[in-house]
Structure 1
Amino acid sequence: MLLLRSAALPAALFVSLLCMQPAAHAQGCVAAHSPQPIIAGLNPTNESTIAHSAGTSFLHGLTISTGYRVYNSYRHYIGTVYQEQRQAQHSAVVNHVNLFELDLNYQVTPRLSVIASIPGMEASRHGQSSPLNAYHSGGIGDVTVGVQSWVFRPPTESHGNVAISAQLKLPTGINDAKGTKTSSNGSTTTLPFDESIQPGDGTWGFSLGTEAYRELYWHTSTYFTGSWLFSPQDTTGVATGRGAPGEGVVSAADQYLWRGGFSRPITGVKPLRGLALSIGGRMEGVPVRDAFGSSNGFRRPGYVISIEPGMMYEHGRWGLYASGPWAMERNRKTSVTDLANQTHGDAAFSDYTVIAGMSRTF
């Protein structure tokens, strides 16, 4: 039980639980093609999980986690410039997105675990002036499966550790949910919804991730997580209905997430034992060009940099967490098709995101 009293535990909990957040993509329609969780596999494979894993139940070593994320994107940007006129003209497009995630983590050895994530989505999209004429979409996203390993066998004498993970993204996500669009002359056309409210992109991919934590001074620890989802396929093959050259189909885009900061347990107050607080920075988004393969088709590349306060509470085999990333910088970058067409599209971002979840270790 000395392991559970370690001052480094809050860092391990924050790194493992807070980075399990569903849909680690930018707060809006930048990560336009799907909400697959690029870092979900780095969930509670932490020192607490390992300490709890001993037992005789056939479930021992298993951690089940659920996550929820919600945001409203409506502030339009071109580059880092806020398009105030969209609000004044009531021409802004509003996305309301609810993201869900079920994570499974089975501890094979103290260092190695098998991980899987099943994301889901429920979303709507409408014009600022016509909230009643909203498009609604929902369904399962792209499932990921893989492995994670700690570099050093837990627990470590330094009260710190580093983990690496690799996951395969399966093309299970719905990427062509459709709706009917009525033009000004009264004609109707059935087209897939905008890629920002599609549950998945339906292509094969893989992700690499890392997480690390280290106790510093006065029970304060530092943490870092990073992940990149690689989508080698050029496009998803799903039509966009856009008329600009090269934008007729959806691009299969990479995604990334970086997080880092500090956490500290609440000490000296018995009713708050098990509670820890964190503060850090967060950057997530979609690159202009993928690391592998071509980057043709329509995408909204860009990023969001946020300040992220959070909290984590652990009691026995249960863990609860919440965080609220607040956007500090938003940037809709120039895409490959924008460069070819000598233009610069925009993207809608949210001001903040609410993230919450819980886990149970058996």
Structure 2
Amino acid sequence: MKSLLLRAAVPAASFVALICLQPAAHAQGCVAAHSPQPIISGLDPTNEASVAHSAGTNFLHGLTISTGYRVYNSYKHYIGTVYQVQRQINHNAVVNHVNLFEMDLNYQVTPRLSVIATIPALEATRHGQSSPLNVYRSGGIGDVTVGVQSWVWRPPTESHGNVAISAQLKLPTGINDAKGTTITKNGTAQTEPFDESIQPGDGTWGFSLGTEAYRELYWHTSAYFTGSWLFSPQDTTGVLTFRPAPGEGVVSATDQYLWRGGFSRPVTGVKPLRGLAFSIGGRMEGVPVRDAFGKSDGFRRPGYVISIEPGMMYEHGRWGLYASGPSAMERNRKTSVTDLENGTHGDAAFADYTVIAGLSRTF
């Protein structure tokens, strides 16, 4: 499968998906990115030669199809970087279980230029720690992205290194107002949208810019870096939250970001393990307090997760299998714009770790 990382941009709806209670997040909890987010790009860039194939007369030649999966449970609440252990003790934590799916398409137009697209989907549940039977369930297609990616230098390069730049348009295809029935404090039933942390998308237009780079160093070891920023110029999504705090009555349309970097090395000298590579690196993903463009009104749970991310990839012929397991080292639920205006600081629920896996096929 064309060097699973050189050839395809493998975004994941992650994005960084947000998951929480009051103010929580979704990358590894309520503050993460739904989509798009590179999941494994750059894991093993040493198999560069396969990227040199260009599209031929066969319509499918040059096409890579990847499927990705990401799962996590967010339940540890934080205000800033302080763990709110009392939420566990008092049994009033909110628990989100999220399954993120995606299909990525990468069509190699030339050895340098590719057309890329990502179709994400989400299935999630949300419930209180003390009420596991009162579960809210949500699911559906997220916000589809389409765009292009180009390598700066025509692969393969003599230096065994390269840099790619990508740009994608985010379409408002995602469900952002899935509803359920809740019981208010006075005991009456009320139908309202689920918390935004378990909505499949935000239903707004946006665009993302991304990059990935790699360079072989010594002893077959390579350094890699990937980064992406999803821009959401629209101020709010228009979906009501029914929150009483001033300014928090509607959901904010948020930017999302993901940075990854580290080292990878293929297994050498052991013929049965040819095609296997391992990586270790760092990962940071989250939602900013203020967007790069436009206003940042409405309710949001800004913050970030910094994780250590071990990973592996196995290639055999045109098939590729990859997996990684980011483990949270630092969680930070930052003060939102409405928090600053109201003199408060909301909390957010984060996961301890995430499991990421995917399968790819090049034609």
**TM-score normalised by length of structure 2:** 0.92
| Distance in structure 2 (CA, Å) of the matches to 1:251 and 1:181 | 22
8 Å contact kept, 2:42–2:214: no
8 Å contact kept, 2:54–2:111: no
Q: Partner of 1:330 in structure 2?
A: 331
Q: Partner of 2:164 in structure 1?
A: 163
**Relative to structure 1, is the Cα distance of residues 277 and 73 closer, same or farther in structure 2, using a 3 angstrom cutoff?**
same
Kindly report which structure 2 residues correspond to 1:254-273, keeping only aligned pairs within 5 A, or say none.
254-273=255-274
8 Å contact kept, 1:178–1:192: yes
Kindly report which structure 2 residues correspond to 1:67-106, keeping only aligned pairs within 5 A, or say none.
67-106=68-107
The yes-or-no answer on 1:23 pairing with 2:22 is: no
Kindly report which structure 2 residues correspond to 1:307-346, keeping only aligned pairs within 5 A, or say none.
307-346=308-347
Q: What is the letter of the counterpart of residue 15 of structure 2?
A: A
Q: Which digits, 9 at most, give the CA deviation of each residue in 1:111-147, with x for residues without a partner?
A: 0000000000000000001111110000000000000
Range 184-193 or range 149-158, more displaced: 184-193
**Relative to structure 1, is the Cα distance of residues 200 and 41 closer, same or farther in structure 2, using a 3 angstrom cutoff?**
farther
Q: CA deviation at 1:23?
A: 1.3
Q: CA deviation at 1:38?
A: 3.5
| Distance in structure 2 (CA, Å) of the matches to 1:40 and 1:59 | 24
Q: What is the letter of the counterpart of residue 175 of structure 1?
A: N
8 Å contact kept, 1:21–1:355: no
**The residue matched to 1:292 in structure 2 has which SS?**
coil
**Relative to structure 1, is the Cα distance of residues 18 and 153 closer, same or farther in structure 2, using a 3 angstrom cutoff?**
closer
| Distance in structure 1 (CA, Å) of the matches to 2:351 and 2:9 | 20
**The residue matched to 1:250 in structure 2 has which SS?**
strand
Range 57-66 or range 120-129, more displaced: 57-66
Q: Partner of 1:185 in structure 2?
A: 186
**Identity across the alignment (%):** 81
The CA RMSD over aligned residues, in Å, is: 2.1
**Relative to structure 1, is the Cα distance of residues 131 and 17 closer, same or farther in structure 2, using a 3 angstrom cutoff?**
farther
Q: Partner of 2:36 in structure 1?
A: 37
Q: CA deviation at 1:183?
A: 2.0
Kindly report which structure 2 residues correspond to 1:106-255, keeping only aligned pairs within 5 A, or say none.
106-255=107-256
8 Å contact kept, 1:52–1:317: no
Q: CA deviation at 1:208?
A: 0.3
Range 236-245 or range 47-56, more displaced: 47-56
| Distance in structure 2 (CA, Å) of the matches to 1:272 and 1:41 | 20
The yes-or-no answer on 1:300 pairing with 2:291 is: no
**The residue matched to 1:133 in structure 2 has which SS?**
strand
8 Å contact kept, 1:18–1:321: no
8 Å contact kept, 1:326–1:351: yes
**Relative to structure 1, is the Cα distance of residues 329 and 268 closer, same or farther in structure 2, using a 3 angstrom cutoff?**
same
| Distance in structure 2 (CA, Å) of the matches to 1:305 and 1:295 | 23
| Distance in structure 2 (CA, Å) of the matches to 1:196 and 1:16 | 32
Q: Which digits, 9 at most, give the CA deviation of each residue in 1:24-48, with x for residues without a partner?
A: 21111114xx722244796999845
| Distance in structure 1 (CA, Å) of the matches to 2:73 and 2:7 | 26
**Relative to structure 1, is the Cα distance of residues 15 and 114 closer, same or farther in structure 2, using a 3 angstrom cutoff?**
closer
Q: Structure 1: which 5+ residue stretches go unaligned?
A: none
Q: Structure 2: which 5+ residue stretches go unaligned?
A: 17-26
Greater fraction of residues in helix? 1
8 Å contact kept, 2:101–2:122: yes
| Distance in structure 2 (CA, Å) of the matches to 1:220 and 1:36 | 30
**Relative to structure 1, is the Cα distance of residues 320 and 66 closer, same or farther in structure 2, using a 3 angstrom cutoff?**
same
8 Å contact kept, 1:231–1:253: yes
| Distance in structure 1 (CA, Å) of the matches to 2:12 and 2:233 | 24
**Relative to structure 1, is the Cα distance of residues 82 and 18 closer, same or farther in structure 2, using a 3 angstrom cutoff?**
farther
Q: CA deviation at 1:77?
A: 0.1
**Relative to structure 1, is the Cα distance of residues 67 and 320 closer, same or farther in structure 2, using a 3 angstrom cutoff?**
same
Q: CA deviation at 1:192?
A: 0.2
**The residue matched to 2:345 in structure 1 has which SS?**
coil
Q: Which digits, 9 at most, give the CA deviation of each residue in 1:236-279, with x for residues without a partner?
A: 00000100000000000000000000000011111110000000
Q: CA deviation at 1:49?
A: 5.0
**The residue matched to 1:307 in structure 2 has which SS?**
strand
Q: What is the letter of the counterpart of residue 302 of structure 1?
A: G
**The residue matched to 1:134 in structure 2 has which SS?**
strand
**Relative to structure 1, is the Cα distance of residues 258 and 152 closer, same or farther in structure 2, using a 3 angstrom cutoff?**
same
| Distance in structure 2 (CA, Å) of the matches to 1:81 and 1:16 | 41
**The residue matched to 2:59 in structure 1 has which SS?**
coil
